[in-house]
Structure 1
Amino acid sequence: MTELVVRTLPSPSGVQGPGPDTYKGWLFKWTNYLKGYQRRWFVLSNGLLSYYRTQAEMAHTCRGTITLATVHIEVGDTCHFVLTSGGRSYHLKAYSEGECQRWVSALQQAKANATHMMPHSDDSGDEGPLAQPDRALIQGALKTLVSKLEDLSTCNELIGKHGAALQRSLSELEDLRAPTDGTDKLKTVNERATLFRITSNAMINACQDFVDLAEGHSRRWQRALQYEREQRHHLEETIEQLAKQHNSLERAWRESPSTLNQAAEGTLEGESSEENEDIEFFDAMEDSPAFITVPADNHSQHRLLSSNQSVTSGSLSSNWSQDDNDGSGSYLRRGRRRRIPDKPNYSLNLWSIMKNCIGKELSKIPMPVNFNEPLSMLQRLTEDLEYSELLDRAARCDSSLEQMCLVAAFSVSSYSTTVHRIGKPFNPLLGETYELDRLEEYGYRSICEQISHHPPAAAHHVISQRGWTLWQEITIDSKFRGKYISIMPLGNIHLKFHTSGNHYVWSKVTSTVHNIIVGKLWIDQSGDIIIVNHRSKDTCHLKFSPYSYFSRDVPRKVTGVVTDGEGSAHYILSGTWDEKMESAKIIESSHACGGSEGKQKTVYQTLPPKLLWKKYPLPENAENMYYFSSLALTLNELEDGIAPTDSRLRPDQRLMEAGLWDEANTEKQRLEERQRLERRKRDAQANLALEEGKEVETYQPIWFMKRTDLETGESSFMYKGGYWEAKDRQDWSQCPAIF
């Protein structure tokens, strides 16, 4: 190999490499119109130009590689040159004209060496890993092999032809009768044997050439394949390392956000002195002015407390102070299980499933349980009660505004169990039910029923001996949008307190599952929740901020404002939907200029925030148990006396929980096919009734019926009673055999 020696003077960019065909240094690379040229560390070695963000990245992360064998080098204006390879252009700039000329000379020499060496490189395999093969070189090698195959085919035809002629001559020689004819026949046989020997030798030589050529290219391709494998392994290790760094940074942020925030601000100031924007504590609400909060000083607090005796303990009454929920409870359940079998390590080929979906209706394709978790949607709906003690505390509140804060915290807490839960719940069968009797431990009973299959809809009813009733009818609508799936729950949640009669109504936000095709799955919640007290007309507007890579806000951020019936704000809510929520009492508000956009901002002066809700820690080994919470671990636990339609008795779900996924897939397909058959029967009966002019009987749930709420005017399926009485009598004659 011809050595490329580049002699340069010391400069801020170029660094002479120690070996042949090697050159290193800083260059500016064009990235995009937003960021322009960015400083990158370039390394020229063995016919490849690689670049990194820093010199330290050379040990683990390469940002890109350019093969110089087929690259086109174009020198532009001062200090600027362009490399074009494979239809892609790289615009580069050097620190000075001299440095630019040295880089261009080094690249041109490296290109010449790479072009000269690639077709005639030693195929012994002793030179180390080969660079990525160029498409033109591969096509040239294939053409050469095809040419050799054509030579072998020609030789094969000649051997066949001369061999047949020689065989005929030998046959004639055996049939020879007159001795005088022997001389001529022997001469003919010798000639044909000579032609056959020559053709055979040509065939042997052609075969040897083909074998040698094929072995040479095979070794080259094997080295190229090994190079690709090493690159892939290196990339996987890099991604894994980045994921670990991301998790550690996120963990460190949660443990000490103030320290990291100061460090991040210092870093940002060092990188760009122009980024001196004001930090806003809350996002602007859509239908109200943007607002920021300013904690009140000690003097203001003392003045307010001395003048208004009704504000005690930081504006929180003893009924719902943070002492009631210090976040340290483990939510242990007496006599309930605390673990399930570990999740098996089953691999899943997504393409093997997607290719079977081509040309078919998605509703008729059985999706494997590999996408699921061993819980049904009815059980996931019941998980909203994970923090039911918030409603117990709210029932003891005298102030409807304080009660609203706790109801808002409860509405946010239902999403805390989803942060790691990327598994899909089982779609309940029509008529499937699920009960959760926690009367002894927590004073409530819950019953769910699947009331519709297309579209999937469930009705839920909870009654508590501690002063509240909750009911909801939820229909799930989902949209596949290529890289992610949006899950939009439709319907309202109703909550009524027995003593005060306060009736709260709200709906759920959109859940989005990202990286459906490529990457690690993760879930996000986004949208607005508006909670309305239909008795007092108090409202709470919660905003779930969608995750953004470029945002400086805390991920999974939730902010909100509690206002009375006249529109006056009384509390600011803040926190994250996966960790905690806090409330701060507003003691004063004012308006300020909104800055460049000219929008008016409302500045709220508040007392120090008080903790409303904090997420309980996950059980030990949760990562191997589908990241289930303490409550979720007990939801599929078998109990005596439950209805035969209960989700706990669903066979495919039980098989999956036991780790028998192949058997679970078979059972799931059987249940879904049976449900389709039942639906076809109902459709046939409906069509027959229409033909005969009779009234079509639609499916009616067992435990719920459609009613109109007198306060809200909303029509929905509500609990009609009878379930718990049937359980006491153990009379399940109304229940269909769905399993």
Structure 2
Amino acid sequence: MAPNDPTTGAGGGGFFASITSTISNFGSAMSKSVNGLMGYEGLEVINPEGGTEDAEEEARRGRWKQEDRDGYWKMMQKYIGADVTSMVTLPVIIFEPMTMLQKMAELMEYSHLLDMADKTEDPYMRLVYASSWAISVYYAYQRTWKPFNPILGETYEMTNHGGISFISEQVSHHPPMSAGHAENEHFAYDVTSKLKTKFLGNSIDVYPVGRTRVTLKRDGVVLDLVPPPTKVHNLIFGRTWVDSPGEMIMTNLTSGDKAVLYFQPCGWFGAGRYEVDGYVYNAAEEPKILMTGKWNQSMSYQPCDIEGEPLPGTELEEVWRLADAPKNDKFQYTQFAHKINSFDTAPKKLLASDSRLRSDRYALEMGDMSKSGCEKSSLEERQRAEKRAREERGHKFTPRWFDITEDITPTPWGDLEVYRYNGKYAEHRADADADADGSEGNAAHVKSIQFNPWQYEDMAA
């Protein structure tokens, strides 16, 4: 197993990879040809499960009605090649009842892996635990429904999981940017996120222009994460599905050790889909531990020699396994996704700016798409009105829980302005918990709170 060849993993490469590539190219050409006959040139339709289903029938499948699909395609043609992160108003039919701020919190589901990274004295096992934690969220991220874009000033908080206090906030509207902070006795997690997209017709590339840092408290170790890009296939035609081919790199900024894990692209007949392979390297870039698994199932590790081969007398050890998920769930939610979306698990004195309180999100959760669409339009219009009011007064928006820094971090997909957690939420939460009446999870009380992320009071009317 070659230590510096990220494309070689447990599934092999060489001859069989070449055969797979050839079949994949043939399938791609066939799909494009079918789309050309249908009048949708350039829209590739891929069946991630492979199979022998007729390509034209596959192209017609999807979550859209025929007339809606044709109308949406006509509207979106002009955006091909563009970043459509915030320039297109999307119908609620493609949304899930969750916001991007809540989706950021899903990374905390398997946070016990970060606890273990903090507890271990083995510097390479730290990266095994921490990189497995970073991989663990990809099963949740494969959902094909789009989360709501947060309103400027919107927040999401969680205080009832693994001793963690979590807060995220929408800190910018143009460009859309979010910041998040999570902390318990073992680690502190900080992220600034600014997604960049490229619309390709029937698919969209999503580039994670962000900075993710984890500080392990026992030794003050700082870990930096660079995830792979994501591609959403068959947005309009065919079965929508998600793939994240490329490298994930987690670097120990304190020691120089790093984990480099390669997410295999999905080939024809589903070859390589879900597979992740790579190594933990020391600062001299020598492989110390090999890692292999599937992001929708489990990850395992095994000590290796300088050539990347397993050490004699050692075996693969499982480090993470996916928890059981609800069957036939409408939005493909995990148990944890239901938990963070629930009013029953909201903390005491929930912030009025919390995502759970959004009327459009809640209406969609209750199955009322018409009301959800109206409420979404109303919130977006109020956001535009507040922007006009802010400009007329010569004010700038100031986030409540995060401060803009002078740091500009380069990423593989562009530079990023960095926001830093200012510590005020910890003070707020301590005061709220001390003053709150009743038990945590008072759903009836929480539902009575009116959603209010606005900087100016008259926007809430």
TM-score by length of structure 1 reads 0.47
Bigger share in helix: 1
SS at match of 2:374: helix
Q: 1:662 aligns with which of 370, 388, 396?
A: 370
After TM superposition, give the deviation of residue 394 of structure 1 in Å: 1.3
Q: Is 1:528 aligned with 2:247?
A: yes
In 2, the alpha carbon distance for the partners of 1:649 and 1:424 equals 18
Taking a change above 3 Å as real, the CA distance of residues 735 and 631 of structure 1, as seen in their structure-2 partners, is farther
In 2, the alpha carbon distance for the partners of 1:348 and 1:434 equals 37
SS at match of 2:328: helix
After TM superposition, give the deviation of residue 462 of structure 1 in Å: 0.5
After TM superposition, give the deviation of residue 624 of structure 1 in Å: 3.2
Counterpart in the other structure of 2:157? 435
In 2, the alpha carbon distance for the partners of 1:640 and 1:736 equals 26
Counterpart in the other structure of 1:474? 193
Q: Is 1:719 aligned with 2:427?
A: no
Deviation sequence 1:396-418 (CA, Å, 0-9, x none):
10111111111111111111213
Taking a change above 3 Å as real, the CA distance of residues 665 and 287 of structure 1, as seen in their structure-2 partners, is closer
In 2, the alpha carbon distance for the partners of 1:526 and 1:567 equals 23
After TM superposition, give the deviation of residue 588 of structure 1 in Å: 5.7
Q: Is 1:459 aligned with 2:179?
A: yes
Taking a change above 3 Å as real, the CA distance of residues 378 and 285 of structure 1, as seen in their structure-2 partners, is farther
The 5 A counterparts of 1:245-324 are 285=4
After TM superposition, give the deviation of residue 510 of structure 1 in Å: 1.2
Q: Is 1:611 aligned with 2:298?
A: no
In 1, the alpha carbon distance for the partners of 2:121 and 2:8 equals 30
In 2, the alpha carbon distance for the partners of 1:736 and 1:533 equals 47
Counterpart in the other structure of 1:544? 263
Taking a change above 3 Å as real, the CA distance of residues 516 and 502 of structure 1, as seen in their structure-2 partners, is same
After TM superposition, give the deviation of residue 684 of structure 1 in Å: 4.7
SS at match of 2:418: strand
User: Which amino acid letter does the alignment assign opposite residue 431 of structure 1?
Assistant: G
SS at match of 2:376: helix
SS at match of 2:304: strand
Counterpart in the other structure of 1:624? 329
Unaligned residue ranges in structure 1 (runs of 5+): 1-281, 294-343, 591-601, 687-696
SS at match of 1:479: strand
User: Which amino acid letter does the alignment assign opposite residue 570 of structure 1?
Assistant: K
Q: Is 1:635 aligned with 2:357?
A: no
In 1, the alpha carbon distance for the partners of 2:159 and 2:399 equals 21
Larger radius of gyration: 1
Counterpart in the other structure of 1:698? 396
Q: Is 1:562 aligned with 2:280?
A: yes
CA contact 2:386–2:456 (8 Å) conserved in 1: no
After TM superposition, give the deviation of residue 529 of structure 1 in Å: 1.4
Taking a change above 3 Å as real, the CA distance of residues 348 and 434 of structure 1, as seen in their structure-2 partners, is farther
Q: Is 1:402 aligned with 2:125?
A: yes
User: Which amino acid letter does the alignment assign opposite residue 403 of structure 2?
Assistant: M
The 5 A counterparts of 1:133-532 are 285=4, 349-355=68-74, 366-419=89-142, 421-438=143-160, 441-465=161-185, 467-532=186-251
In 1, the alpha carbon distance for the partners of 2:121 and 2:458 equals 45
In 2, the alpha carbon distance for the partners of 1:488 and 1:710 equals 17
In 2, the alpha carbon distance for the partners of 1:348 and 1:632 equals 32
In 2, the alpha carbon distance for the partners of 1:417 and 1:358 equals 29
SS at match of 1:584: strand
In 2, the alpha carbon distance for the partners of 1:716 and 1:486 equals 23
In 2, the alpha carbon distance for the partners of 1:480 and 1:615 equals 31
Taking a change above 3 Å as real, the CA distance of residues 618 and 550 of structure 1, as seen in their structure-2 partners, is closer
SS at match of 1:664: helix
Deviation sequence 1:633-661 (CA, Å, 0-9, x none):
02222254111100011110011101111
In 1, the alpha carbon distance for the partners of 2:288 and 2:253 equals 18
CA contact 1:431–1:736 (8 Å) conserved in 2: no
After TM superposition, give the deviation of residue 291 of structure 1 in Å: 10
CA contact 1:283–1:291 (8 Å) conserved in 2: no
SS at match of 1:624: coil
CA contact 1:401–1:562 (8 Å) conserved in 2: yes
Counterpart in the other structure of 1:678? 386
In 2, the alpha carbon distance for the partners of 1:450 and 1:715 equals 14
SS at match of 1:349: helix
CA contact 1:702–1:735 (8 Å) conserved in 2: no
SS at match of 2:372: helix
In 2, the alpha carbon distance for the partners of 1:352 and 1:534 equals 49
CA contact 2:10–2:292 (8 Å) conserved in 1: no
Computed over aligned residues only, the root mean square deviation of the Cα atoms, in angstroms, reads 3.5
In 2, the alpha carbon distance for the partners of 1:737 and 1:681 equals 10
In 2, the alpha carbon distance for the partners of 1:736 and 1:445 equals 31
Deviation sequence 1:480-529 (CA, Å, 0-9, x none):
11121111111121011111111100122211111122111111111111
Counterpart in the other structure of 2:55? none
Q: Is 1:572 aligned with 2:298?
A: no
CA contact 1:292–1:603 (8 Å) conserved in 2: no
In 1, the alpha carbon distance for the partners of 2:349 and 2:419 equals 25
After TM superposition, give the deviation of residue 356 of structure 1 in Å: 5.2
SS at match of 2:236: coil
State the percentage of identical aligned residues: 27
User: Which amino acid letter does the alignment assign opposite residue 546 of structure 1?
Assistant: P
User: Which amino acid letter does the alignment assign opposite residue 704 of structure 1?
Assistant: F
SS at match of 2:307: strand
User: Which amino acid letter does the alignment assign opposite residue 369 of structure 2?
Assistant: W
Taking a change above 3 Å as real, the CA distance of residues 703 and 347 of structure 1, as seen in their structure-2 partners, is farther
CA contact 1:643–1:735 (8 Å) conserved in 2: no
CA contact 1:284–1:291 (8 Å) conserved in 2: no
User: Which amino acid letter does the alignment assign opposite residue 418 of structure 2?
Assistant: S
SS at match of 1:374: strand
Counterpart in the other structure of 2:307? 589
